[in-house]
Amino acid sequence: MIDLLIIIFLNAVCIIGFNKATEEGMILSWLADKAEDILPTWINKPLWACPYCMSSIHSTYIAIPYFISIGLSFWFYPVYIIALCGMVCLTYNAYEILRRYN
């Protein structure tokens, strides 16, 4: 169970990192600028614009291989997404608080 919490935390850190990397002036901001012109908002949010919404799409590249490796049923996947969204919320808010003190 501890390994699942570590996986969820690492997935949350990856989501927040990707979200920050696509902000204005960062290394992947060009990707967000080009895609905003092409894609509608309802696709932009889960891809890079909203860290909480990103849990739905960015959970696949970590959760699915993990589920396969330990033999966990895919019925657990919606629970994983909700837990990941909660972890993103906690981690992102902690990041924002620490950023204010910098």
CA distances from 96 to 26, 78, 93 (A): 17, 27, 5
Residue whose structure tokens are 């169970």: 1
The number of helices, as runs of H, and strands, as runs of E, in the chain is 6, 0
Q: Which of 63, 67, 59 is nearest to 85 (CA)?
A: 59
Local confidence band at 1 (pLDDT 50, 70, 90 cut-offs):
confident
The answer to whether the CB of 20 falls within 8 A of the CB of 96 is: no
pTM of the full structure = 0.89
Look at residue 60 in the predicted model and tell me its pLDDT.
Answer: 93
pLDDT digits (tens, 9 = 90+) for 33-80: 998 889 998 999 999 999 999 999 999 999 999 999 999 888 999 999
CA distance 39 to 53: 16
Look at residue 50 in the predicted model and tell me its pLDDT.
Answer: 93
